[in-house]
Chains A and B, each alone.
Chain A
């Protein structure tokens, strides 16, 4: 009643302007937070990330289907790779089971958009022939690729990747064990080494979480 019309006018005129200003600032603020959350930075990743990713020297190995496995085989999609042998009761089957879970969950979480491949490379090519790998690797997941090759080629491949392996002889001739690096390597779709998961025992949730961050770097 006592409020004069003139007092209302300035307020009413300012109101839309204030609203627009507040809306813009809010959008800017929340938009910024949203972008920050979705853009990962290397500091957020709990794995060893190679910056820049490392290109590999030429290699030629064989898959369990008796087809060539070369640098080309690592291109087109993200690849997880780890090393072992089929006469390994503990680390290798455990990692294969874990990676089967990783594969399933990444498919689910990205609605099949992020296609990955999982490669198991034998550090025991003498016993792990393509045929032997074919009976072993697909059991854990039909899409998994078992890789073997000539001893010299396997050694050259593991050497360039910093993967260690040592044969441990036992009583029987054919009874030996192979101590080996348990790291899981991650290659980008260009076929370059991008990251290493070294924490053992490997946990599926940890790998998936960090893979998604790395893929968004």
Chain B
């Protein structure tokens, strides 16, 4: 009987906490973390630029990113470079999946953003404002630094 009284309040408390967790909406930037977003420097006359970054998903569920945009560019698309039949092919993606408790790496010759028609010069060392939109409509804004690719 004493044991019963000890367990019940704690169990109720635990259930209450679990319920609260399930019902409380988690802010987008608590679920996804964007690291090391960068834009490789390209000639001033270039009309398309890539963007690469690491995206961490700290939640228990896969997260779908449905859109990227930037005030610096007319359009931003999601692509994946795939080597097939001896050719590098760029395949446009309608969404990117960041796996639960995982990381999606956007890197050269893999997943990447294609940013089209800059509205202003893309200057080495400066930050480009980028935002992403999740399937649930939440938006995350982050800067991408214009850099020269690292020496291999």
Identify the A interface with B (CB < 8 A).
86-91, 93-94, 97-98, 101, 132, 135-136, 139-140, 164-166, 168, 170, 177, 179-183, 198, 200-201, 203-205
Contact = CB atoms under 8 A, between A and B. Distances in A.
Interface of B: 40, 42-50, 79, 81, 83, 85-90, 92, 108-109, 112, 114-115, 148-149, 151-152
Q: Per DSSP, are chain A's interface residues mostly helix, strand or loop, or mixed?
A: mixed
Contacts of B86: 164, 181, 183, 198
B87 A182 contact: yes
Contacts of B44: 135, 139
A165 B86 CA distance: 10
A98 B150 CA distance: 9
B46 A90 contact: no
Contacts of B152: 98, 101, 203-205
A89 B149 CA distance: 13
Contacts of A198: 86
Nearest to B115: A89
Given A89-B114, A94-B40, A182 B48 contact: no
A97 B83 contact: no
A177 B87 CA distance: 13
Contacts of A97: 40, 148-149
A2 B19 CA distance: 102
Contact of A90 (B85, B87, B108, B151): B108
Contacts, number: 87
Nearest to A135: B45
Q: Rank and list the top 6 A-B pairs by shortest CB-CB distance, nearest first.
A: A135-B45, A139-B43, A89-B50, A182-B88, A179-B89, A201-B109
Given A179-B90, A180-B87, A180-B88, A87 B151 contact: no
Nearest to B151: A101
Given A164-B86, A181-B86, A203-B152, A87 B48 contact: yes
B87 A93 contact: no
A177 B50 contact: no
B58 to A, nearest CB: 28
7 contacts: A86-B47, A89-B49, A90-B90, A136-B43, A139-B44, A166-B87, A168-B89
Contacts of A182: 83, 87-88, 109
B46 A164 contact: no
A140 B43 CA distance: 8
Contact of B79 (A90, A93, A101, A201): A90
Given A136-B43, A164-B87, A168-B90, 8 more contacts: A86-B47, A93-B40, A93-B42, A93-B46, A164-B85, A170-B92, A179-B89, A203-B152
Given A180-B87, A200-B88, A94 B149 contact: yes
